[in-house]
C-alpha cells in the first residue's frame, strides 16, 4: 500500500505541442481524475500554456507525464525536470530520447540480437521507391519521431510511394520505410524497473480491415482487443520475455508498452516500437492489460506515480 500523502503536490503534464496533443489531453484528464479519486493532491499542467519553471515556483513535488510524442515523450521534458530536480514518471532522458527515435531503437535492438522488421531510412520519394523495391509489398512508410500511427502509410504499389513520403515528411524530416509483417498484432505493457520490471498480459488487436490507424485507436469502438490474447501459452510467454528484454535494453524504467507483430507463417514475433509514455484514454491498452492482471485504472495510476524518479537522484 502507498501513502499518497507522501507524493506531495503532483502535476499531471498533459497537452503539450506535439501532433498527439488531443490524445494527451484525454490521457491526462483520465489520470488526473484517477489520482484525485485516490486522494492525491494532483493538478493539470499543460506545458503548451505554462512555462515548466512554474512547476518549481508552484511547489510541485513530482510529475506524472501524460504527454505523448515530441516535446513530452522524447527526453526534452525529462531533461527539464532533471534540471528542476522534480521526479517524474516513465523512463529517463536517454531512454525516452532513444525510444522516440524509431531508427535508433531498431539499431540498438538489432545490435542486441532482438528481432525487428527490416527497414530503410529515406530522404526523398525516389529513395522511398527504391526501398519499396528492396523491402517488397506491402511496405510501411512513417515519420521516425511520431506516434499513434500519425503520418503512417501502408504502401502496396510503387505509385503510392511519393504520396506516402510527402505525408510522413510533413511531420518529420526523418522518414523510414519498414517491411510489413503480416500476422497477429499484439502489444505488451511493462511496469517496474531493473529486476523488478514485469510484463503484463499480452493484448491481441483486431482492427477493421487490419487497419489500426489513429481513428481506430482512439475514436471508434470497432477495434477488438483480446485479453486474454488467445495465443498459445508458449507464444505469450515468449512475447513477454522479448518485450522485457527490449525494455531493459533501452534502459527503460517505471512503465512502457511495446508493440509486436507475429509473422503468420513462421509465428516469429517482431518488435515494432516501444512507447515510453503510453496512452491512458478510455481506449488505451495499458489500463486494459493491467485490469486483466487485477489492477484497476486508479491503482495503476498510483503505482506508476509511485515510481517517479530522477536519473541523477
103/220 same-domain check: yes
Instruction: Note whether 108 and 242 are same-domain residues.
Output: yes
Q: Which domain holds residue 106?
A: 99-115+182-304
Which CATH number is 58's domain given?
3.40.50.20
Same domain, 253 and 277: yes
In terms of domains, do 226 and 295 share one?
A: yes
CATH of the domain at 156: 3.30.1490.20
Counting the structural domains of the chain, the total is 3
Beta bridge partners of 106: none
Average pLDDT over residues 155-176: 96
Examine the pLDDT at 138 and tell me if it is beyond 90.
yes
Q: Looking at residue 222, what is its pLDDT?
A: 80
Per-residue pLDDT at 220 exceeds 80: no
Distance of alpha carbon 276 from the chain centroid = 5
- Do 296 and 207 share a structural domain? yes
Going from the C-alpha of 108 to that of each of 25, 105, 111, 272, the distances in angstroms are 31, 5, 5, 13
What is the model's pLDDT at position 196? 94
pTM confidence score: 0.92
3 state DSSP class of 4: helix
Q: Taking 60 as the threshold, does the pLDDT of residue 216 lie above it? A: no
Catalytic residue numbers, as ranges: 20, 148, 218, 257, 259, 273, 275, 279
Q: What is the C-alpha to C-alpha distance for residues 20 and 6, in angstroms, rounded to an integer?
A: 31
Q: Please report the pLDDT score of residue 19 as a whole number.
A: 84
- pLDDT per position as a tens digit, 26-42: 999 999 999 999 999 99
Please write the tens of the pLDDT for every residue from 94-112.
999 999 999 999 999 999 9
Residue 80 has φ and ψ, to the nearest 5°, of: -65, -40
Q: Is pLDDT above 80 for 148? A: no
In this structure, the answer to whether residues 194 and 276 fall within a common structural domain is: yes
Domain assignment of residue 313, yes or no? no
Amino acid at each position: 500500500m502507498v501513502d499518497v500523502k507522501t507524493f506531495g503536490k503532483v502535476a499531471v503534464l498533459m497537452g503539450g505541442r506535439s501532433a498527439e496533443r488531443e490524445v494527451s489531453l484525454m490521457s491526462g484528464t483520465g489520470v488526473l481524475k484517477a489520482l484525485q479519486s485516490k486522494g492525491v493532491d494532483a493538478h493539470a499542467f499543460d506545458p503548451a500554456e505554462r512555462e515548466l519553471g512554474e512547476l518549481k515556483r508552484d511547489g510541485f513535488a513530482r510529475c506524472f507525464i501524460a504527454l505523448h510524442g515530441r516535446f513530452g515523450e522524447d527526453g526534452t521534458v525529462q531533461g527539464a525536470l532533471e534540471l528542476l530536480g522534480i521526479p517524474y514518471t516513465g523512463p529517463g532522458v536517454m531512454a525516452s530520447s532513444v525510444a522516440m527515435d524509431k531508427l535508433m531503437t531498431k539499431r540498438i535492438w538489432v545490435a542486441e540480437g532482438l528481432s525487428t522488421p527490416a527497414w530503410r531510412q529515406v530522404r526523398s520519394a525516389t529513395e522511398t521507391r527504391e526501398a519499396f523495391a528492396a523491402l517488397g509489398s506491402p511496405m510501411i512508410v512513417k515519420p521516425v519521431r511520431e506516434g499513434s500511427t500519425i503520418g503512417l502509410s501502408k504502401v502496396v504499389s510503387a505509385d503510392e510511394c511519393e504520396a506516402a513520403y510527402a505525408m510522413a515528411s510533413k511531420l518529420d524530416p526523418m522518414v523510414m520505410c519498414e517491411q510489413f509483417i503480416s500476422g497477429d498484432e499484439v502489444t505488451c505493457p511493462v511496469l517496474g524497473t531493473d529486476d523488478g520490471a514485469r510484463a503484463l498480459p499480452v493484448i491481441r488487436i483486431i482492427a477493421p480491415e487490419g487497419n489500426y490507424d489513429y481513428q481506430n485507436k482512439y475514436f471508434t469502438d470497432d477495434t477488438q482487443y483480446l485479453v486474454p490474447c488467445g495465443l498459445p501459452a508458449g507464444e505469450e510467454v515468449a512475447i513477454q520475455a522479448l518485450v522485457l528484454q527490449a525494455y531493459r535494453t533501452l534502459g527503460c524504467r517505471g512503465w512502457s508498452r511495446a508493440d509486436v507483430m507475429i509473422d503468420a507463417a513462421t509465428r516469429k514475433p517482431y518488435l515494432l516500437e516501444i512507447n515510453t509514455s503510453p496512452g491512458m484514454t478510455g481506449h488505451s491498452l495499458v489500463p486494459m492489460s493491467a485490469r486483466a492482471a487485477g489492477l484497476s485504472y486508479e491503482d495503476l495510476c498510483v503505482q506508476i506515480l509511485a515510481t517517479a524518479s530522477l536519473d541523477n537522484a
